[in-house]
Amino acid sequence: MHTYAERAAARPRAAEPVILGIESSCDETAAAVLRGRTILSNVVRSSAAEQAKYGGVVPEIASRAHVDVVDEAVLAAVREAGIEKEEIDAVAVTYGAGLLGALLVGLSFAKSFAFALGVPLIAVNHIRGHMAAAYLADTSLEPPFITLLASGGHTAVLYTKSYTESEILGSTRDDAAGEAFDKAARVLGLPYPGGPNVEKLAREGEANIPFPKMFRGNGFDFSYSGLKTAVINYCHNCAQKGESIPRADVAASFQSAACGVLADSAVEAALQKGCKTVAAGGGVVANGYLRALLAERCARAGIRLVLPEKKYCTDNAAMIAAEGLMQYRAGNFADLTVNACAHIPLGKKGKQ
């Protein structure tokens, strides 16, 4: 008696497999199809507008929205890819980290779809999906390289030494970069989603407020709590003195400090490891200021930068299929008993 995963691993594998990716960890229901590293379709249905009324993601609303659209999103991805569903070689799905109820919708759908088609199921760690988006941005990208991961839940600089292994060189000791953006947005009275709204406001201001320099710990560790406190204190002080808060300047100054440490760490890590390439991923990498800063710093240091298009930095299923491709090639398949997992630690420094 072999398990579903063992039977999948025993089958011959296509060189350029057609992989369906499904993502439902937060408020985006996404489905995408890849052939090898080529994106055939990328469908994203978002409940963000509904969530905005509540100032953030309400898990129950997210779960119900996924139930409403998951089948439509998957069928649209198959149709837009111009394939028949029978051409799919494997189904890759996010099993964590994220909102449990939300994850379960995509995962249950993916299990049934894979079983019905009789193809392997691949369980993808959402964060590794964000990191794998770079393989789609540059289809010739090969490890080793440095990965800058800056998302809502995790922020780290990693040494990606193979298609399936990354070593953490340093990470945030407290808030993730996206969390810091979202908190700054709240202090500035900006609506959900915080990050893009801080970026928008920052365009109208100047980075002229000398917030304390970002804390840098051992190696490539850093911390956002000092910067966050400085932003809060600055706004409170203005209010206490009866002065109006220069909101756009606060946003620009915060953004400059928050992104500076990311660009510095990534470039320093590349130089220290002798890597010629830096790849980036995660929602915060959709930030135009960070993208320009990375481009400038990497160019100055003679390092090649691989930046996924903005739509592949925020949540999408093409990145899940990309990580699925790497797992497919490594023969890592899941059983139909695989469960959703709300927390998957990025890990201590070292192997991922």
* 199 annotated binding-site participant: yes
Cβ neighbours of 131 (radius 10 Å): 27
Residues contacting ligand KG4: total by CB under 6 A: 20
Q: Which residue is nearest to Zn ion (CB)?
A: 315
β partners of residue 20:
33, 91
CB of 110 to ligand KG4, least distance (A): 18
122 vs 346 by CB, closer to ligand KG4: 346
17 binds, among ligand KG4, Zn ion, none (CB under 5 to 8 A by kind): none
- List 296's β-bridge partners, or say none: none
The answer on whether 237 is annotated among ligand-binding residues is no
Instruction: Pick the binder of ligand KG4 from 17, 152, 170, 324 (CB under 6 A).
Output: 152
Residue 199 Cβ vs ligand KG4, minimum distance, rounded to whole Å: 4
287 is in an annotated binding site: yes
CB of 52 to ligand KG4, least distance (A): 12
Nearer to Zn ion, 199 or 315 (CB): 315
User: Which of positions 178-207 make contact with ligand KG4 (CB under 6 A)?
Assistant: 178, 181-182, 193-196, 199
* Cβ neighbours around 24 below 10 Å, total: 37
28 a known binding residue? no
- Asked if 315 is part of the footprint of Zn ion (rule: CB under 5 A), the reply reads yes
Between 126 and 297, CB nearer to ligand KG4: 126
Smaller CB separation from Zn ion, 209 or 286: 286
Q: Is residue 28 near Zn ion by the rule CB under 5 A?
A: no
Which residue type sits at 311? Answer: K
Q: Cβ of residue 168: shortest distance to ligand KG4, in angstroms? A: 16
Both tokens of residue 13? 């594998």
Window 315 to 334, contacts with ligand KG4 (CB under 6 A) = 315
Q: Is 283 in the site for ligand KG4 (CB under 6 A)?
A: yes
Q: How far apart are CA 85 and CA 8, in angstroms?
A: 18
Is residue 50 a known part of a binding site?
Answer: no
Please say which residue, 104 or 198, places its beta carbon nearer to ligand KG4.
198
Q: Measure the N-to-C terminal CA separation of the chain; round to a whole number of Å.
A: 31
Looking only at residues 110 through 139 of this chain, which bind ligand KG4 when binding is defined by CB under 6 A?
126, 130
Which residues of the shown chain bind Zn ion in the complex (CB under 5 A)?
A: 315
* Binding residues vs ligand KG4 (CB under 6 A): 126, 130, 151-153, 178, 181-182, 193-196, 199, 282-284, 286-287, 314-315
